[in-house]
Amino acid sequence: MSKTALITGATSGIGKATAQILAKNNYKIILCGRREDRMAELEKELSKLTAVHTLLFDVRDKKAVSESIASLPEAFSTIDILINNAGNAHGLDPIQNGDLDDWDTMIDINVKGLLYVSKAIIPQMIERKSGHIINIGSTAAKEVYPNGNVYCATKHAVDALNQGMRMDLNPFGIRVGAIHPGMVQTEFSEVRFKGDTDRAEKVYQGFTPLQPEDIADIIHFVVSRPYHVNIADLVVMSTAQASSTIIKKD
Ligand code: NDP
Ligand code: 8X3
C-alpha cells in the first residue's frame, strides 16, 4: 500500500519539488500552503500521478492547523510521513535595525508553526507506533551569519526540536530527522527581500546554487530507506559553498 506524505509549504520551492518527486514515486500526497491558486494547479498536475488532497492553512493559526488536519478524509487520514518544510526568512538586518514584525513572523512560522503541525500529527504516529518526521532546517541551523540573527535562531530552534522529537518519540519507533540545506534557488530570497527580485536574484549569481529538486531527491532517498534506517541529521550544500559566508564565485 502506498504511503501518505503531508508536506507543508508545498506551493513553492523545496516543498513543491518534494511533492512532485514523491507523487512520481507513487506516494499519496497532502499538499499544505496558503496560496489557493498554486495549490489547485499543483493538485491538478499531481492528480495524474497519484492521490492528492490539499489543505489550505497558515501554520501560524493553531486552530486552523488542528482543524484542517482533523478534517482529512479517511483515505488521507493516516499520515506516514510529515515533512515540516514551510518557512522563510523575513529581512536581513543587523540586530539593532531588526523589524519586530519580521521577528514575530519568522518565530511564528518557522518555530511555532512547525510545532503546531507536529502536535496535530504526532498522536496518530504514537498510536500506530510508526511514522517519519522530516524537519527542514538549514545551514543557518548550524552556524550564524552576519545579519541572519533571528532567522538563524529559528533554524537553530528547528535543530533543537529535531533532536528533542527524536528522543521523545524514540520509545514509539518513530523516525525523526532533519535535512539542512545551504543556498537553494527558490522564492526564499524574494520573500526575505520583500519582493525585491533584483536583490533576490543577486544572491544566486556567480555560482551554481542548489535547486529545489536537489533537496527533493534527497528527501525521497531519506523516506525510501528501509524502516530501520533513520537519516537523523544531514547538511547539504552546493559544491561552491563551504559555509554560510564562504562561497566560491566565478
Ligand atoms: P519558498 O519561499 O520557495 O517556499 C516557502 C513555502 O513555505 C511556500 O510554499 C509557502 O507557501 C510556505 N509558507 C510560508 N509561510 C507560511 C505560512 N505562514 N503558513 C503556511 N505556509 C507557509 O522557500 P524554500 O522552498 O526555499 O523554503 C522551504 C524551507 O526550506 C524553509 O523552511 C526554509 O527556511 C528552508 N531552507 C531554504 C533554503 C534556501 O536557500 N532556499 C536553505 C535552507 C533551508 P504559501 O506562501 O503558499 O503559504
Ligand atoms: C537558507 C539559507 O544561507 O540564506 O536557510 O540562510 S541561508
Domain ranges of the chain: 4-236
> Could you read off the pLDDT of 17-28 as tens digits, one per residue?
999 999 999 999
DSSP reduced 3-state for 71 = coil
Residue 168: phi and psi, rounded to 5, are -70, -30
59 Cβ inside 6 Å of ligand 1:
yes
What whole-number distance in Å separates Cα of residue 40 and Cα of residue 28? 16
- ipTM entry: 0.99
Q: Supply the pLDDT for residue 145.
A: 98
- The DSSP symbol for 249 reads -
Q: Supply the pLDDT for residue 1.
A: 72
Q: What is the CATH number of domain 4-236?
A: 3.40.50.720
Residues 87 and 140 sit within 8 Å (Cβ to Cβ): no
Active-site residue flag, 151: yes
pLDDT at residue 170 is higher than 80:
yes
Return the percentage of the chain with pLDDT > 90, whole number.
Answer: 100
| Average pLDDT rounded to a whole number, residues 2-24 | 98
Per-residue pLDDT band for 68 (boundaries 50, 70, 90) equals very high
pLDDT at residue 36 is higher than 90:
yes
Q: Distance, CA 218 to ligand 2 centroid (Å)? A: 18
| Closest C-alpha residue for ligand 1 atom 12 | 9
Q: Distance, CA 2 to ligand 1 centroid (Å)? A: 26
Per-residue pLDDT band for 126 (boundaries 50, 70, 90) equals very high
15 Cβ inside 6 Å of ligand 1:
yes
Residues 6+ apart with CB under 8 A from 191: 88, 89, 90
Q: Distance, CA 203 to ligand 1 centroid (Å)? A: 16
Angle between helices 13-24 and 36-47 (to 10 degrees): 20
DSSP reduced 3-state for 206 = coil
Per-residue pLDDT band for 154 (boundaries 50, 70, 90) equals very high
